[in-house]
Amino acid sequence: MSLIEQLNNALPQTQCTRCGYPDCQRYAQAIALGEADINQCPPGGTEGVERLAALTGKPALPLNPDNGFEGPRTIAIIDEAWCIGCTLCIAVCPTDAIVGTNKRMHTVVEPYCTGCELCIPACPVDCISLEPIDIHLSGWASWPQEMANIARQRYDVRTARLKREATEHDERMQAQAVEKLADLPAHTKGAEHAPEADRKRAIIEAALAKAKARQPSKA
């Protein structure tokens, strides 16, 4: 097992980004490459720093206050009376712990909420609050390894789904661009050589090139 994988396994998988990186995996990679210190994960707390210190051989340091402070595990609570169903919180939840549809009330599935806080700034009507699970427990004491494992699994599934959806979207856009390019006169009222036709051709070709560039290479 690589050092990056070991470090990632030692992180709480809240995917809160408070370490300064997009997710726990990227933070683990930065530590392994010597680009980040081992004291940048508030959810892991003091025990989390000790875990990383044991793996890297570095001395355990106090948590960097620039990244936040260790505290009780919290879960997000949505005030149903104020929720407008905008889905913005759903879009940023790293573990798909928020369910609901457009213009319908949302709710949080408590066992899957990591307390990452990312939904708080996303809510336009401030109807989401955080409530501690147990004010006497913090860090790994309030977040057992089993829950970290579940959170990581759900994050990985969500990441794969978003990547697949983006690829499918690009493929649809590419197919539409090819179709329009093949029938350009119909989209320019038959003015095949007019400036408008050239302008639209350039736009469609540029969109097609971007869509192709975003597609993963098929080796």
Q: What is the DSSP string of 59-112?
A: PP-PPPGGG----B-EEEEE-TTT-----HHHHH-TT--EE--TTS--EE-GGG
For residues 99 and 120, state if they share a domain.
yes
CB 116 within 8 A of CB 94: yes
> What is the separation, in whole angstroms, between the first and last Cα of the chain?
26
34, 49, 67 - which closes a domain: 67
**Does residue 102 have a pLDDT over 60?**
yes
For residues 127 and 179, state if they share a domain.
no
User: What is the pLDDT at residue 219?
Assistant: 38
Q: Is residue 48 part of a domain?
A: yes
Q: Is residue 153 part of a domain?
A: no
The CATH number that applies at residue 47 is 1.10.15.40
> What total of structural domains would you count in the chain?
3
CA angle 46, 51, 52 (to 5 degrees): 100
| Domain limits for position 34 | 3-67
For residues 26 and 60, state if they share a domain.
yes
For residues 209 and 187, state if they share a domain.
yes
Number of residues that this document lists for the chain: 219
Q: Is residue 115 part of a domain?
A: yes
How far apart are the C-alpha atoms of 159 and 15, rounded to whole Å?
12
Residue 104 CA, chain-centre distance (Å), reads: 23
Average pLDDT, the chain: 89
CA 210 to each of CA 89, 172, 207, 216, 219: distance values in angstroms, whole numbers, following the listed order: 29, 13, 5, 12, 19
| pLDDT band at 202; cut points 50, 70, 90 | confident
How far apart are the C-alpha atoms of 97 and 154, rounded to whole Å?
9
Which residues does residue 121 pair with via DSSP β-bridges, in sequence order?
Answer: none
146-194 per-position pLDDT tens digit: 999 999 999 999 999 999 988 887 777 777 777 766 666 665 555 555 6
For residues 60 and 83, state if they share a domain.
no
Q: Is residue 86 part of a domain?
A: yes
Instruction: List the single range of 68-82, 113-127, 177-191, 196-210 with lowest mean pLDDT.
Output: 177-191
Percent of the chain clearing pLDDT 90 (strictly above):
72
Reported pTM: 0.80
Q: Which residue has the tokens 């990581």?
A: 152
How far apart are the C-alpha atoms of 172 and 177, rounded to whole Å?
9
For residues 96 and 124, state if they share a domain.
yes
The CATH number that applies at residue 94 is 3.30.70.20
